[in-house]
Each structure stands twice: as C-alpha cells, then as structure tokens.
C-alpha cells in the first residue's frame, strides 16, 4: 500500500513553523534518538545485500544476511548492484506467517528520492507500507526501488561522499526516522547512522556527522547526543 496524503515536501522553514505550533499548543516534540556508526566498521559497505540493518536499536546493529533464517524485526536490507544494468532496492524484513500485530516490519518512505535533507517527515508523507492479510496470515513487506519512474535513481548521486537519506517508520507509525548512507561508488554505500523519533510526531532530517578522533592530549568536543557504538551480530 502506498500512503499518499502528503501534498509535497515541506521546506525547513515550514518544518520549524510546524514544530513551533506543536510547542505553542503544549505538545512539545520528543528529542530524536541519534545513533552514529562511529566504531571500527565505519567503512563497512552495507548496500550489497549483505546485512540486515536494525532501525530502532540504540546502537548500530548489522546482522549478516542469512537466506536460511528470518531476519530480526524492524530491519532493512539494501541491495544495489549490476545485472546487465544497474539495479537497486531497499526492503523491510520478511516475517513468518501469523506474526504479532502490529507487524514488526517497517514502512518505507516512497517519495523524496532519498534526497530529503532539511525536510520534516511525518505520517502524512507517502510511504510504502507492509500489508498483513488476516485470512492467510501472510505479510507483504514494504520495498522501494531504483529506476526511472520508481522511488529513487542511483544515477542522481555522482560524487563520492554524497549522502542519501532513507525515511522509514514502524508499521503503525508510532516511530518515524531516517537513515543516512554515504556514497563510495554507484552501488557501494556506507552507513553513517540513523535517527528516530519515538513519539511518532515526525522528525526533521538533518545531516549526521561522525566526529574525527580527537588529537592526542585534547578532549573531543561535546556532542549534542551521545553516539552509540556499532555492533555486528553473528
């Protein structure tokens, strides 16, 4: 299902105005949880169908893809590559039949072409949502794809170090977030980190920065939020 109630991306000024309205109305938005991939595997390529990436963990967790096992809940897998031509998809985790509800596989932002920096995303945007069939117990997972007329075009990203942003939400939209990935090549991308708002009100997409290691004898500048370390599950 494509959730499409959103008339178009809101610029940063509109996002700030919306946030102010919430504050004035007495409904202060929760601070987002920010998780940075600042560990020894900062340069791991996560876009070649090799990892299931957790979306709501308090530390970066990459599960090596195992086609014989169901992936963990609320994860995504990024699959970019070449097969005669360039292809790409981002998909939520598959589920066994008759899962607990709401289903624990994410909705994925279907608009914005992975270029949503400085936009405020909430449940009014167009999301591809997982669809649960209560008659069969099966779930069709959400997916977004590369190509002309599709959700994004990898050819739009041409410079090493360029950032892309994947918007996502829990299936019931109680949590909304985004993931930031960094281009190495057209199909090779690294994970910078992710942020999510557990209130479900929405989140302002801002570039995440992994600080450089401090010089010897100097203290690192304080961060707004403490980054979590990366963990790879085995």
Is there a contact between 169 and 28 (Cβ–Cβ < 8 Å)?
no
User: What are the tens digits of pLDDT across the range 127-157?
Assistant: 999 999 999 999 999 999 999 899 999 999 9
pTM of the model: 0.82
Give CA–CA dist 227/119, Å, rounded: 22
Give pLDDT, residue 23.
Answer: 43
User: What are the tens digits of pLDDT across the range 77-95?
Assistant: 999 999 999 999 999 999 9
Confidence of residue 160 (pLDDT cuts 50, 70, 90): very high
Q: What angle do CA 119, 183, 225 make, to 5 degrees?
A: 55
Domain ranges in the chain are 2-210+217-227
Residue 46 vs residues 52, 61, 121, 148, 151: alpha-carbon distances, Å: 9, 11, 24, 23, 19
For tokens 């892309």, what's the residue?
164
User: What are the tens digits of pLDDT across the range 196-231?
Assistant: 999 999 999 999 998 876 654 444 444 444 444 444
Q: What angle do CA 71, 181, 6 make, to 5 degrees?
A: 85
Give pLDDT, residue 8.
Answer: 47
């Amino acid at each position: 299902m494509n959730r499409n109630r959103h008339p178009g991306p809101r610029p940063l000024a509109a996002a700030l105005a919306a946030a102010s309205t919430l504050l004035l109305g007495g409904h202060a938005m929760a601070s987002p949880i920010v998780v940075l991939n600042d560990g020894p595997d900062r340069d791991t390529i996560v876009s070649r169908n090799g990892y299931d990436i957790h979306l709501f963990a308090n530390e970066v967790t990459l599960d090596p893809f195992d086609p014989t096992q169901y992936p963990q809940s609320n994860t995504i897998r990024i699959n970019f590559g070449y097969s005669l031509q360039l292809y790409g998809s981002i998909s939520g985790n598959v589920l066994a039949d008759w899962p607990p509800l709401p289903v624990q596989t994410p909705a994925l932002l279907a608009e914005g072409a992975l270029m949503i920096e400085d936009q405020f995303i909430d449940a009014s945007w167009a999301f591809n949502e997982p669809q649960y069939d209560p008659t069969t117990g099966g779930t069709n997972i959400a997916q977004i794809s590369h190509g002309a007329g599709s959700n994004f075009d990898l050819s739009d990203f041409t410079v090493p170090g360029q950032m892309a942003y994947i918007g996502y939400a829990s299936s019931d939209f109680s949590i909304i977030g985004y993931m930031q990935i960094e281009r190495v090549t057209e199909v090779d991308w690294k994970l910078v980190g992710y942020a999510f708002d557990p209130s479900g009100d929405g989140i302002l997409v801002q570039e995440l920065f992994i600080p450089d290691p401090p010089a010897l004898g100097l203290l690192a500048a304080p961060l707004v939020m403490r980054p979590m370390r990366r963990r790879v599950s085995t």
